[in-house]
Amino acid sequence: MHKSSKFNYLFNAVLSAIAVILAITPANALPEQSINTVVKWAKTRPLLPTLRYNSEAYGYDGTKGKLYFYADVTAENGTVTKEGITVSGDSSLKFTTKNAQAVKLLQNIYNSNLANDFQKSRYITKVGRDQFYRGQKFGYIAAEVQGGSALQIIPLRNVQKFIDNAQFCQTNQCDL
């Protein structure tokens, strides 16, 4: 009986620890995760629209009020290559590291870890309308677009690739 009670105690302690970790670790879906994870996650976020596959855009997207959200994927059931948020019709919200409203929106959609990563990210360069930032965990591309402000979240290891592509498209005709 003594070994059995030790096992039960240890088992319950491990289960409790897992429950605490899951409770304090916010669910989020970010680039390099499966699109199924992102779609399920989006359903739990009150600010986000329902995401539907858009074959023309090579990803999933949706609009809710003034917010447009999308996730680009390698295939309909593939891995997310980047995510984007565009807010239109609100001139006070600009995706910059100094705009408290934009940082708060990221916190409300994702979590404080991502919001802090963006807020503390380092400005790298501007190519055309795109401003590139490097955080500790992700890369970011901010842009003022017609009627609003947009932010893309990209894998950190791909920041230079996105900069190179933007520079290439400045001098060559690219389909965007």
The tens digit of pLDDT for each residue in 132-167 reads 999 999 999 999 998 899 999 999 999 999 999 999
Q: Residue 105 carries which side chain, given as an amino acid letter?
A: L
Alpha-carbon distance of 74 to 80, in angstroms, equals: 7
pTM here?
0.82
Helix (H) or strand (E) holding 63: strand 59-64
The pLDDT value given to residue 159: 96
Alpha-carbon distance of 165 to 98, in angstroms, equals: 26
Q: Residue 97 carries which side chain, given as an amino acid letter?
A: T
The pLDDT value given to residue 175: 65
For 6, 26, 100, 116, the CA distances from 107, given in Å and listed in that order, are 42, 11, 10, 8
The first and second tokens of residue 32, run together, are 């390099």
| Helix/strand/coil for 71 | strand
- Considering only residues 34 and 29, tell me which one the structure prediction assigns the higher pLDDT: 34
User: Order of strands across the sheet with 122-127?
Assistant: 52-54, 59-64, 67-73, 80-88, 148-155, 138-145, 130-134, 122-127
The pLDDT value given to residue 2: 55
Q: What angle do CA 39, 138, 80 make, to 5 degrees?
A: 30
125: nearest Cα among 175, 159, 88: 159
| pLDDT tops 70 at residue 67 | yes
Alpha-carbon distance of 124 to 109, in angstroms, equals: 25
- In which band, very low, low, confident or very high, does the pLDDT at 28 lie, cut at 50, 70 and 90? low
Cβ proximity of 145 and 130 under 8 Å: no
Q: What angle do CA 65, 132, 58 make, to 5 degrees?
A: 55
pLDDT in tens, 71-130: 999 877 789 999 999 999 988 999 999 999 999 999 999 999 999 999 999 999 999 999
The pLDDT value given to residue 172: 84
